[in-house]
Chain A
């Protein structure tokens, strides 16, 4: 089966900033993204959990974007500019997809 190399950008971000990130992704005209809830974890500021929180503050979300390699910088630079001031982690990894024309 023919496979296509793409870049997967994963942004783990504090939940209050989620809408800003997805609005930015819409403006960047990425072909799609997936928002996932995350349960809890541990980082620079210690252990965190979203259990019982009535507010978005304190919770985190994970947003995954798959982009063509040639568009990586164009997408990654504004994403990082937004995430830089917030609690978050941006990672980029190599992935292969089957339907390459979709990304």
Chain B
């Protein structure tokens, strides 16, 4: 399938269309909304299901020596992508150092929902993927935050540095024990321990309704992104919007080189590249509010959720899948 066919097929999928419906409803100022508690439940369900499925896959395939290397590569990418991101933001936009560091953290970290959407696209192409990529996703959340804080410290005045140093340990603990990471990693280990027997016991809950719940969650993401765009668009200059689209491709290029060296399967490579190209909008925004409260949240939230997420969901993931099939196929 060509890249264009793949992109067209993806654009016409229920996932992308429900996301678009959410954006349109928010822009039209509809009162359509998903209550906060329901949104959190949907996110929990998706983390549980994807973590469990990954664990079951590892139990079937057994421990792969490439797992440790891929996890190491994920940590390295998560740490270095913010450094590259910061450089590109400062080069191509007029954003100040603190805002640039906060934005860079989002791009080094990952969006688990983008990853979940990518697993559906990869599955639709009939490609298998390494279950341990769930563990890779989990370890890629935090190093980006450390890199961003180091960047901010270089740029920040001394008195602000003291405040940050005081909270660094607590902050990293808070991110590492963030609810979405705990449920993702916990479900991964439960899936690994219980294997196919566990899967047969709970598959009516985590397999059959998965796509429908993903659509509902993406509708909510569309609503939040649309509201963010309506209210935060004035914070985004054309150069920042451009960054939100071209920088995932830069990250994807880094990850493509790693995926080729690691010898990942085509499906695994597509997901690994997607992880690197995605931008966080759940764990990192909350961490940045604690670590860099001076940074403007309207900039990083709108850029991550309003620009990069829709780009990855509609065009990015099919592109990464096509690249992965070429390098790993």
Contact = CB atoms under 8 A, between A and B. Distances in A.
Interface residues of A, number: 24
Contact of B281 (A19, A45, A55, A86): A55
B283 interface: yes
Contacts of B120: none
A51 B36 contact: yes
A56 B286 contact: yes
Contact of B33 (A14, A19, A52, A58): A52
B36 A57 contact: no
B146 to A, nearest CB: 18
A17 interface: yes
Main SS at interface, chain B: helix
Interface string A45-60: 1111111111111110
Interface string B281-295: 111011111100110
B289 A52 contact: no
B35 interface: yes
B57 interface: no
B79 to A, nearest CB: 22
Q: Which of A14, A46, A58 has the most CB of B within 10 A?
A: A58
B28 to A, nearest CB: 16
Interface stretch (B186-194, B223-231, B254-262, B312-320): B223-231
Nearest to A39: B36
Interface residues of B, number: 32
B298 A52 contact: no
Contacts of A48: 231
A16 B290 contact: yes
A52 B224 contact: yes
Contact of B285 (A20, A46, A55, A86): A55
Given A46-B231, A47-B231, A53-B224, A59 B285 contact: no
Given A55-B283, A57-B301, A86 B224 contact: no
Contacts of B212: none
A19 B232 CA distance: 27
A47 B33 CA distance: 16
Contact of B220 (A52, A85, A86, A87): A52
B40 interface: yes
B34 interface: yes
Contact of A59 (B36, B174, B296): B36
A54 B40 contact: yes
B306 interface: no
A-B pairs with the 3 shortest C-beta distances?
Answer: A57-B285, A16-B289, A16-B286
Given A16-B286, A50-B36, 8 more contacts: A17-B289, A51-B36, A52-B33, A54-B282, A57-B289, A58-B301, A85-B163, A86-B293
